[in-house]
Amino acid sequence: MSTRNLELEVMRYDPEKDEAPYFQKYTVPCPEEWVILDALNYVRDELDTTLAFRWSCHMMVCGSCGMMVNGEPSLTCKTFIRDLPDKVRIEPLENFPIERDLIVVFDDVIQKLHKVQPYIMRKDAPPEDKEFTQTPAQLMKFKQLTMCINCMCCYAACPQYGLDNNFIGPAALALAHRYNLDNRDQGKSERLDILADYDGVWECSFVGACSEVCPKHVDPAAALQQMKVDGAVEYWKQKLGMTGEKK
């Protein structure tokens, strides 16, 4: 098994002790099939037990190991050593407060996820003793949007969220669009009142960085542009007195 020495430059910061973040270097002997998360685990297990970072599944499902790898928001369980140079800089995700070392605080985005009402909303009573059926075509309208694992890489890449954290942001807006496209949902109009507000979809400048870094190819940038169209249509429907949900 071939190995090479990888020089990791890792941001360290404990707000209870440090005046400012700083970088610490570690040399890690890495097999080529390792990912960055493996290298970080080696550091914590063998070199420095004080290093703090999050991870859980190691298989691109939990979304908890997102970090900046050489300046790009990445899942460290997906970022292979063989694709990187011999020197790698690891930092916490940008645009979030640092809790400690590579761990950031997601409280703001969690509140935004609740704000967009990410659940099926019904105005009509469900059919008695029946399930809501859904065709494969109806499922495919929103299926890719369900792939989001809340890694928050899109927020770290979003320049608008970096400038104004009142912006609801890509992951939360894309999740709302997932329910807007669901044929079982009747809450699109109510949801758009929130999504099309001043801190909603119209704040998006369509740079597209959120979609570029998304490890699950959700394409939140496209979802936001679709919601701009939906918001404009809904505005005129309300102006003209046209109501009702169509799927």
Note the pLDDT tens digit of each residue in 185-238: 999 988 988 888 878 999 998 899 999 999 999 999 999 999 999 888 876 677
Cβ burial, residue 218 (10 Å; 0-12/13-18/19+): buried
d(CA 15, CA 20): 8
The CB density around residue 194, as the number of other CB atoms within 10 Å, is 15
Give percent above pLDDT 70 in the chain: 96
Q: Start-end ranges of CATH 1.10.1060.10 in the chain?
A: 107-239
d(CA 70, CA 28): 17
pTM of full prediction above 0.75: yes
Please check the confidence at residue 244 and state whether its pLDDT lies above 70. Answer: no
- Give the mean model confidence (pLDDT) for residues 86-102: 97
Q: Measured in Å, how far apart are the chain's first and last C-alpha atoms? A: 55
CA distances from residue 75 to 68, 80, 154, 213 in whole angstroms, order as listed:
8, 10, 11, 9
Say what the pLDDT of residue 243 is.
Answer: 62
Q: Which fold has domain 107-239?
A: Fumarate Reductase Iron-sulfur Protein; Chain B, domain 2 (1.10.1060)
Q: Start-end ranges of CATH 3.10.20.30 in the chain?
A: 3-104
d(CA 84, CA 69): 10
CA torsion sign for 55, 60, 61, 63 is positive
- Which two three-digit tokens encode residue 230? 């939906």
- Level-2 CATH architecture, domain 3-104: Roll (3.10)
Helix (H) or strand (E) holding 24: strand 22-31
